[in-house]
Amino acid sequence: MGSGMIRRFSILASACLVFAAASHAGSIAGTITYSGEVPKLPPVDLSGDPACAALHGDNPPANEVLVLGEGNTMGNVLVRVTKGYAVKEYPAPAQPVTLTQKGCQYSPRVFVLHPAQTLKIQNPDGIMHNVHGMPAVNTPFNRAMPKTLTEIEVQLPKVEDPFEIKCDLHRWMHAYCAVLDHPFYCVTTKDGVFEIGGLEPGEYEIEAWHEKLGKQAATVTVGADAPAKQDFQFTRPAKK
């Protein structure tokens, strides 16, 4: 795993924790783990574009379809509250979300956007990309980014479950975006820990989503003091 990825995870993790610390009300916390035989994923095959391969030399990036930490904790899982939170207008974060294509890899791989928030897609390497977002509710977008086009902006004004963003030129590039109009979510890092704060006491439905292993739901009762516990365990679906 490259140093950029570690930095990225630390940023994400701190975002979750800061949010949790800022909340005075109840919260939900837990850990996502993977059970079963861990598949051996070969590193990403960059041979399709010599320019991308040159950026990584002899050290191709690891496959991020399954990101596991110590004790098979899972990263890149989106945990969000689906029911029970107060339905009102939550302000959009001031900063736009930035999706970069550095090293012919999308980063972050899984992220959440507020409907009023702008998605900035950057192309820092000067390599041609074609960003193809395939939302079902919002308007799909399909934007080519030649080397001269270093940044484009995309608006996704409707709430939507996670959908795929891929590069039509580099088939290993995948990112997943959800559009949520509330702040009650968390994307896990390698340590698999999530914590969703700022919740009034009451009963909530939450959902954990992974790009390949599907989604799981749970009902959680949040109390006033200690965080409610809810762990999820993903496993590989049986072969048909």
Nearest alpha carbon to residue 103 among 168, 173, 163: 173
Q: Mask 152-181, x = binds other proteins (CB under 8 A)?
A: ------------x-----------------
- Residue 65, interface with other proteins (CB under 8 A)? no
Establish if 139 lies at the interface with other proteins (CB under 8 A). Answer: no
Q: Considering CB under 8 A, how many residues would be counted as binding other proteins?
A: 14
Across 50-66, b (16+ Cβ under 10 Å) vs e yields eebbebbeeebbbebbb
What is the H or E stretch that residue 175 is in? strand 174-179
> How many residues are given for the chain?
240
Q: Is 45 in the site for other proteins (CB under 8 A)?
A: no
Select the residue interacting with other proteins from 15, 41, 134, 217 (CB under 8 A).
Answer: 134
**φ, ψ (nearest 5 deg) of residue 11:** -65, -45
Residue 149 as a binder of other proteins (CB under 8 A): the answer is yes
Candidates 36, 43, 124, 146; binder of other proteins (CB under 8 A) is 146
What is the closest distance, in whole angstroms, from the C-beta atom of residue 147 to other proteins in the complex?
A: 5
Number of C-beta neighbours around residue 34 at 10 A: 23
Least gap, CB of 146 to other proteins (angstroms): 4
Q: Which of 39, 42, 50, 91 binds other proteins (CB under 8 A)?
A: 50
* Residues 122, 156: Cα–Cα separation, whole Å: 17
Strand partners for 111 = 177
Nearer to other proteins, 170 or 190 (CB): 170
Residue type, 239: K
Part of the chain binding other proteins (CB under 8 A), chosen from 36-44, 49-57, 77-85, 89-97: 49-57
Pairing mode, strands 97-100 and 118-122:
parallel
Residue closer to other proteins, measured from CB, 102 or 132: 132
Among residues 8, 56, 132, 236, the one that binds other proteins under rule CB under 8 A: 132
- Closer of 51 and 226 to other proteins (Cβ): 51
Tokens 């570690």 label which residue? 6
Rounded Cα–Cα distance for residues 48 and 217 (Å)? 38
Q: Binding of other proteins at residue 148 (CB under 8 A)?
A: yes
Q: Are 190 and 7 in contact (CB under 8 A)?
A: no
Binding site for other proteins (CB under 8 A): 49-51, 128, 130, 132, 134, 142, 144, 146-149, 164
